């Protein structure tokens, strides 16, 4: 009986404690990464995504822009994203001085069809980008669709997760 207790104690020490330590370390690093992302997104993150014609577009391309910038993470098949895209067209005059960067990780054909169907290519202030390396979450800390990050002078003004009134983006 005493040997059984020693055996069980040994098993617990050599199996349970390393697993618990690994779990605690994983939680610690996830929290640290989330805090790092929160701090980094206070200023426009140094992103690089591809345009629909496969040209690289990065945050550096926005360095000289001093107006508001909306980074909109979306999915072409998301009904809320489709609704917001209709609102971009409807409120085109109110949004004309705001640069809207729409980012998706959907495939090229689906994204092109979405842009065409919703006539987004008719608005010169909208740039649609593809995140082919699934880096958006790491840079912006969100993968909820739609998500909106409103910047002015490269500084975050507000973050909105989910569908919102279009006025919340430009007011």
Q: What is the pLDDT of residues 11-23, one digit of tens each?
A: 767 766 677 667 6
Distance (Å, rounded) from C-alpha 145 to C-alpha 137?
A: 11
Q: What is the mean pLDDT of the chain?
A: 87
The DSSP bridge pattern shows strands 48-51 and 126-130 to be antiparallel
Q: CA quadruple 135, 169, 161, 75: dihedral positive or negative? A: negative
In which residue ranges of the chain is pLDDT below 70? 12, 15-17, 20-21, 23-41
pTM: 0.80
The pLDDT value recorded for residue 36 is 45
């Amino acid at each position: 009986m005493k040997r059984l207790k020693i055996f069980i104690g040994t098993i617990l020490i050599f199996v349970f404690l390393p697993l618990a330590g690994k779990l605690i370390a994983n939680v610690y690093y996830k929290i640290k990464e989330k805090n790092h992302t929160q701090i980094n997104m206070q200023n426009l993150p140094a992103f690089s995504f591809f345009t629909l014609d496969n040209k690289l577009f990065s945050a550096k391309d926005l360095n000289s822009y001093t107006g508001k910038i909306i980074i909109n993470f979306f999915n072409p098949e998301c009904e809320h994203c489709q609704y917001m895209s209709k609102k971009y067209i409807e409120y085109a005059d109110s949004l004309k001085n705001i640069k809207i960067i729409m980012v998706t990780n959907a495939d090229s054909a689906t994204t092109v069809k979405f842009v065409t169907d919703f006539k987004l290519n008719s608005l010169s202030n909208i740039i649609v980008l593809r995140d082919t390396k699934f880096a958006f979450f790491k840079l912006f800390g969100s993968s909820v669709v739609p998500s909106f990050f409103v910047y002015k002078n490269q500084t975050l003004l507000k973050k909105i997760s989910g569908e919102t009134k279009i006025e919340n983006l430009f007011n």
